[in-house]
């Protein structure tokens, strides 16, 4: 029966889209959508990124908030990002997977699912923006932010598993909504209301983030790349963002409304492959230009501390690096905690160790490769229009591998698609936390999500990026504030587990057991 209802909702969505088609038929539709949404997007961004001046640059408070938290977590958990790095790998490799739980969600699977939501455009377009605005030095701060972000992910994902809901029908659901409300209430009755408020705020921003960075930004950037690879301004597609949006919306709709999991499943298998191709191509270019690598590394390090010609000087460089790292790996944002909480484990902290690998792979490895390619090929240039995003990375790869922009286009569209699928899930979880679970609330969210895909691909990058950033970063306020109250909980979980680990009380299975 539910299938039938879903089918109807889907039909309804399609009708909605086709009815809106005549509106799109006029010339300059994209411009009109842009005009309508821009003031709102700008206002939201302006509010979230309220900033204070420091060293001649406006520093958004939210960035300080994120970096301060990541640094504090790193210190409070005594460099857990380094300390648990090896053990996290053992967990991902499956050394501790009990064969009796075979068939449940493994650490690897939880990590892979979370990664497919973060590895994507942030690594390709975001890095290009950071390097063009902040110079090579931005890379240094990006890597540092990635390393610190590992500690934030550790805390979030541990809490995500600890306070997840396990329903009688055997499904699980977790994330900041649950640890903020349940966790704070458990700490003290006095915190109950605060926990509830933070959870609701988080859920509201998460829904916003799922429309912004998890959706419009993705649609927008993949469309831009498609236009640039098919001939730029002269491309037939150039003013048909809405058309691209509708096509993507239909595909996403088939998955999230039509329940055609096959498409999602195929994507979830192709995306890791595309990531491998992307990273390999990056490494090939780096090896082809091995002689330039030392100079690039020097530029990264020296540029980090002496910023010539960069607006805002060193602070400006730092700001660009941190900002793009945070946007790419989402550490402290809380989204990953939703994806990680489905894992099968009775020690929540294990998922925290595994989650360390997310910012590491996403930022320290993938973003650095992108940055190196851009710097080595000399494609970065302070005068380049920052709104070029993907196009800049594309040009960097093209200068060494002429046909690569085509591959990159496929990768970008697929990354965008899988990120949208992930974020539609995060957003829906937050949405149902707010409005309860029912066919109607589900359908309303999903239709809105599809609508924003069309909006996103029709808007100009500037407002899209600002709005996307704003909504995603807003999630960090309630999330991190709540986490501060829950730090002792994580500390206890960690200390108990670490003692068992050091004492050799944890059982390994299979080949891993024989290795010792």
Partner 1 sequence: MSKVLLVGVDCSNCSNRAFEYAADRAEMSKAQLIVVHVIDWSPFSFNTPQENEERHRRREDELQRAHKEIIDPMVDDLREKGVFARGVIRHGHPAETLNEVAKEFGATNIIIGKTGSSRIKSQLFGSVANTLVQISKIPVTVVP
**Residue ranges binding partner 1 (CB under 8 A):** 94, 97, 99, 102-106, 108-110, 112-113, 116-117, 169-173, 261, 264-265, 268-269, 271-272, 338-339, 342-344, 421-422, 425-426
Provide the minimum distance between the beta carbon of 171 and partner 1 in the complex, in angstroms, as a whole number.
5
Going by C-alpha positions, the residue among 140, 105, 111 that lies closest to residue 355 is 111
Provide the minimum distance between the beta carbon of 60 and partner 1 in the complex, in angstroms, as a whole number.
29
Shorter beta-carbon distance to partner 1: residue 19 or 100: 100
Provide the minimum distance between the beta carbon of 71 and partner 1 in the complex, in angstroms, as a whole number.
30
Other C-beta atoms within 10 Å of 42: how many? 15
Going by C-alpha positions, the residue among 446, 440, 443 that lies closest to residue 423 is 446
| Token pair of 425 as six digits | 């899930």
Question: How far apart (Å, rounded) are the C-alpha atoms in residues 512 and 498?
Answer: 19
Shorter beta-carbon distance to partner 1: residue 240 or 344: 344
| Token pair of 66 as six digits | 């994120």
Provide the minimum distance between the beta carbon of 244 and partner 1 in the complex, in angstroms, as a whole number.
23
Q: Spell out the alpha helix ranges (H) of 163-240.
A: 176-178, 184-187, 192-211, 217-229
Provide the minimum distance between the beta carbon of 327 and partner 1 in the complex, in angstroms, as a whole number.
20
Helix (H, G, I), strand (E, B) or coil at 32: helix
Please give the full DSSP string across 452-495, using - where no structure is assigned: HHHHHHHS-HHHHHHHHHHHHHHTHHHHHHHHHHHHHHHHHHHH
Shorter beta-carbon distance to partner 1: residue 113 or 377: 113
**Which helix (H) or strand (E) is 303 found in, with range?**
helix 293-305
Provide the minimum distance between the beta carbon of 482 and partner 1 in the complex, in angstroms, as a whole number.
22
Shorter beta-carbon distance to partner 1: residue 265 or 492: 265
Where b means 16+ CB within 10 Å and e means fewer, 76-114 reads: ebeebbeebeebbebbbebbbbeeeeeeebbbbebbebb
Shorter beta-carbon distance to partner 1: residue 396 or 430: 430
Other C-beta atoms within 10 Å of 135: how many? 27
Shorter beta-carbon distance to partner 1: residue 80 or 274: 274
Provide the minimum distance between the beta carbon of 272 and partner 1 in the complex, in angstroms, as a whole number.
6
Helix (H, G, I), strand (E, B) or coil at 53: strand
Question: How far apart (Å, rounded) are the C-alpha atoms in residues 472 and 150?
Answer: 18
Shorter beta-carbon distance to partner 1: residue 328 or 422: 422
Question: How far apart (Å, rounded) are the C-alpha atoms in residues 241 and 227?
Answer: 9
Residue 366 CA to chain centroid, in angstroms? 13
Helix (H, G, I), strand (E, B) or coil at 79: coil
Provide the minimum distance between the beta carbon of 210 and partner 1 in the complex, in angstroms, as a whole number.
12
Provide the minimum distance between the beta carbon of 149 and partner 1 in the complex, in angstroms, as a whole number.
21
Shorter beta-carbon distance to partner 1: residue 319 or 425: 425
Going by C-alpha positions, the residue among 111, 149, 98, 154 that lies closest to residue 348 is 154
Provide the minimum distance between the beta carbon of 429 and partner 1 in the complex, in angstroms, as a whole number.
9
Helix (H, G, I), strand (E, B) or coil at 98: coil
Question: How far apart (Å, rounded) are the C-alpha atoms in residues 103 and 111?
Answer: 16
Under 8 Å between Cβ of 350 and 107: yes
DSSP state of 28: T
Shorter beta-carbon distance to partner 1: residue 168 or 402: 168
Shorter beta-carbon distance to partner 1: residue 109 or 302: 109
Provide the minimum distance between the beta carbon of 9 and partner 1 in the complex, in angstroms, as a whole number.
16
Shorter beta-carbon distance to partner 1: residue 10 or 73: 10
């Amino acid at each position: 029966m539910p299938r039938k209802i879903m089918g109807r909702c889907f039909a309804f969505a399609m009708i909605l889209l086709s009815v809106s088609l005549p509106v799109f038929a006029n010339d300059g539709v994209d411009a009109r959508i842009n005009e309508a949404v821009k003031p709102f997007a700008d206002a939201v961004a302006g509010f979230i990124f309220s900033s204070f001046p420091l060293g001649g640059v406006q520093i958004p408070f939210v960035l300080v908030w994120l970096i301060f938290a990541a640094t504090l977590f790193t210190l409070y958990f005594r460099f857990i990002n380094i300390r648990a790095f090896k053990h996290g790998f053992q967990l991902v490799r499956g050394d501790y997977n009990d064969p009796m739980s075979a068939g449940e969600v493994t650490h690897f699977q939880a990590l892979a699912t979370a990664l497919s939501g973060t590895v994507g455009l942030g690594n390709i377009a975001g890095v290009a923006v950071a390097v063009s605005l902040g110079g090579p030095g931005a890379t240094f701060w990006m890597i540092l932010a990635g390393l610190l972000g590992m500690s934030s992910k550790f805390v979030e994902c541990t809490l995500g598993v600890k306070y997840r809901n396990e329903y009688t029908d055997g499904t699980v659901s977790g994330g900041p909504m649950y640890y903020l409300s349940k966790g704070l209430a458990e700490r003290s009755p006095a915190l109950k209301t605060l926990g509830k408020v933070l959870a609701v705020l988080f859920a509201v921003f998460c829904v916003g983030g799922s429309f912004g960075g998890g959706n419009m930004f993705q649609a927008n950037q993949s469309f831009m790349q498609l236009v640039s690879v098919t001939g730029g301004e002269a491309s037939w597609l150039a003013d048909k963002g809405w058309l691209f949006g509708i096509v993507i919306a239909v595909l996403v709709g088939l998955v999230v409304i039509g329940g055609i999991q096959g498409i999602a499943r195929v994507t979830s298998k192709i995306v890791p492959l595309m990531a491998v191709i992307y990273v390999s191509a990056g490494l090939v270019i780096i090896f082809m230009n091995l002689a330039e690598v030392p100079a690039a590394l020097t530029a990264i390090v020296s540029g980090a501390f002496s910023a010539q010609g960069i607006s805002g000087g060193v602070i400006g460089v730092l700001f660009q690096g941190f900002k793009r790292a945070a946007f790419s790996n989402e550490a402290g944002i809380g989204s990953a905690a939703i994806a990680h909480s489905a894992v099968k484990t009775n020690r929540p902290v294990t998922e925290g160790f595994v989650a360390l690998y997310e910012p590491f792979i996403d930022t320290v490895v993938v973003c650095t490769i992108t940055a190196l390619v851009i710097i080595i090929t000399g494609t970065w240039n302070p005068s380049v229009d920052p709104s070029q995003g993907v196009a800049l990375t594309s040009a960097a790869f093209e200068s060494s591998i002429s046909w690569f922009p085509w591959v990159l286009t496929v990768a970008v569209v697929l990354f965008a698609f899988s990120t949208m699928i992930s974020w539609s899930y995060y957003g829906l979880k937050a949405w149902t936390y707010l409005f309860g679970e029912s066919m109607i609330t589900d359908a309303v969210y999903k239709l809105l999500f599809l609508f924003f895909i069309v909006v996103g691909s029709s808007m100009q990058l500037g407002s899209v990026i600002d709005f996307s950033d704003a909504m995603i970063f807003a999630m960090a306020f309630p999330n991190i504030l709540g986490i501060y109250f829950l730090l002792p909980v994580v500390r206890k979980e960690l200390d108990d587990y670490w003692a068992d680990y050091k004492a050799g009380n944890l059982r390994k299975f299979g080949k891993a057991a024989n290795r010792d």
